[in-house]
Structure 1
Amino acid sequence: MKWQHLQLLEIALSRLYLHWAGRPQIRRGFAGPTAIAAHRNSILFRMSVPFVDSMCWIDIPSFPVDYLVYSCYSSSSSSSSPPSLTVLPPFFDGGRTDPSDKYFQPYRRQHQRIMFNHNMGILCHGDNGEFTVGDITYRYDQEVDLCLLHHPPPAGTPPKWSVNRLQIPPEMKIDLYSWKTDLVVPIGRSLCWVDYYQGILLIDVVADSQGSPIQQQLHYVRLPSQALKSRRLYIDPGAPDPFRRVCVTDAGIIKLVCILTKYPPPDDEFTIITWTLVDINQGSWRKDVDTIVGADEFFGLCKAAKSCLPRVRPSFPVVSLVDPDVICFLLKEKGRNLSWMVEVNMRNKVLQSSAIYINEEEEEGPPSEKDRRNTFFGHSFIPTKFSSYLAEDAIT
């Protein structure tokens, strides 16, 4: 089964596969495991679980959903624990019921609270493998339901989800009616829900595990005024915006990358602009005027590097974890199922590296694995240092 792609440092790809021994025969169309988020040494992923009766295929979307966290610990870590796989408990608060559920055990998706991948995030904190998984459900009366699960739970209590209904103060000026979460990122003690055309909602999720009121831990940062002038592109529901990204470097620097263009957008006319959040409390951004790159200059960098890259608008920008001036872009060649990844130093105006994306079907592997591989759409990269927690010869 295919996991989501993870983008590592220096334009390198890592793929994770789940080998499920004794798995029942599953017909095509069954959703495999999907990575949702990653932070430090942990990856949060989701998978649907087939019924015990493998012959029951009446309604595949009704299969139960499990969330799991896979964690590794490097040899230099204070923890000497081996890699672990934590299965999060099912969450039924707010879920729907169906009388027919009694015939399908242990549970069905109708019973579970619906949580969408793009609304979920994971925050690792502490020195002993602690993490918090969070999800937000938006309500149209200036309220949000914040669902949290802390691991490990308080002593003497079983692991369970909690729901906190939070009132959004009017002074935050968040339009929940049109809010769309594009990304959830961890920053400090907070999980941050990002709308690329409004702003960043920060919630101190660690406060809940320490008994502090979460309502007092809300904070909102509006995007720079120039970024707010553009309107959201029409894209399929659930698909991320290909021309905007909020990234957090390993040093905690928060960057906004926008590939701005006129409307309708020609592929050879665009400007790449980045902003740095200089004061998270005041919500003040600084435009990085020394790193602005236009279309002609961008294509000139490719030509100067004697690279045969396609002349198309870059998409899905990701800021390097180690250098805030370096951004990775995806170039998708029109008319061909061919994509390139390029790494550009925006300050020095240098194309540092480029690599063609190798589709999974082009890799070596048994036919049974290839049959389950999915089409690459370009938006499934997750910046993470997860690989640094793995030994070179590790088998996990």
Structure 2
Amino acid sequence: MSLIGSLFSGVSGLRSNSQAMNVIGDNISNTNTVGFKSSKSVFGDLFSTVLTSGSVTSQVGQGTQFIGSLQDFSQGAIENSTNSLDMAIDGQGFFIVNNGQGNFYTRAGQFRINDNGVVQDIGGNILQGFRVTGGTVNNTLENVDLAGVQSAPNASTQFTLGANLDARSAVGTTFTSPITLVNSVGNQVVASITFTKATNTTATFPATTHTQWDYAVSVPAGEGTVVAATANNSGSLVFDNTGTLDGVLDSGGTVLFGGDVQDLTVTIDFTTASPPGATQNITWDLADTTGIATNGKVTGFAATSNNNSVVQDGFPTGVLTGISVANDGTINGLFSNGQSESLFQLGLADFLAPTGLTRVGQNLFAESGLSGQPVIAAPQTGAFGSVLGSTLELSNVDLAQEFVTMIKTQQAFQASARIITTTDDLLTETVNLTR
């Protein structure tokens, strides 16, 4: 091989190592890029000539070539975030986003809700997931669209009242407990239970051992009507000499039950309200399953009458006030009525050969013939990793390693340049031989 060949070897070294420096520079410049995956340069030799001399065969190369770069998809460090829609994948998989033309894949989980209520990344690409309807996850991948999402109302079906009715009160003393109920269309109605200290009306509960309070349920005019024909809408509560609820009478003074306390049913007709609702049977939860009057905590102690607590199971319509993301990729909506509902489950993608993905910028990858087609499933399914809400996966660039590689590349570049200058000296000396 002539000296000219060594010049080409040196040039190939310069060219290859300069491309390697581009890869190193790309890695270092993306040290703070969320979800960035570093690359490693791959070199190959250039074969040129086979020289045969008798039984000895020599194979002479002609330098090196830059074959390409391989993406490193190892896990980056996880950092906490204050944004609930910032997400990181702990394990395998890529988030799926769509730009209107097709799907792309990313490990950068910086997502926001735009003005149209759609969840998108910082480049405007829309996050993809499976809609959850009535607790069931649909199997069609679609835009994660939270526009107009609200929590449907739930009509009240029961309530408990924590109150004390002062045993020392004179006959005729009244005490009112307001109870906010929700009708079938989601309107909140403040009903009232008015208690009036009464004279004992039955021998079953004599005044020597019991105190009696009459009660009546009412709702404001125009917001509904308490059904008068229902026996439990008014009546009497009777307490023993320990202040414990011991019996209930109907409005006519007939004992409904005694000792073994039962729940009452209050019927309210909301069809007369605006907007009209339905007629509701609402359970007044007075006792637990054993018949002991502890659930409602209505007592008759010799202490000032008061309302300790009111608990009911209805809630009005709620608007979206917050978002949380579970490890299985479920996006849960937090609503103004205190409810939480599953809205979407994220879809993740994985590839047989992720190193074959094509970088397209903005932390996005596109599938290629080398990567194979995506396998799409929910997080924590099969080999797919978990999704961590309010976190971000940082770049996996190892700065220390990059500087070491940069020094090696610099030395290789300098050595390649030395090949050229040395060969030039040899050629000059060869030319001078003829003088």
- TM-score, structure 1 normalization: 0.19
**Looking at CA atoms only, which structure, 1 or 2, has the larger radius of gyration?**
2
* Bigger proportion of residues as strand: 2
- Which fold has the larger relative contact order, with Cα–Cα distance below 8 Å and residues 6 or more apart in sequence? 2
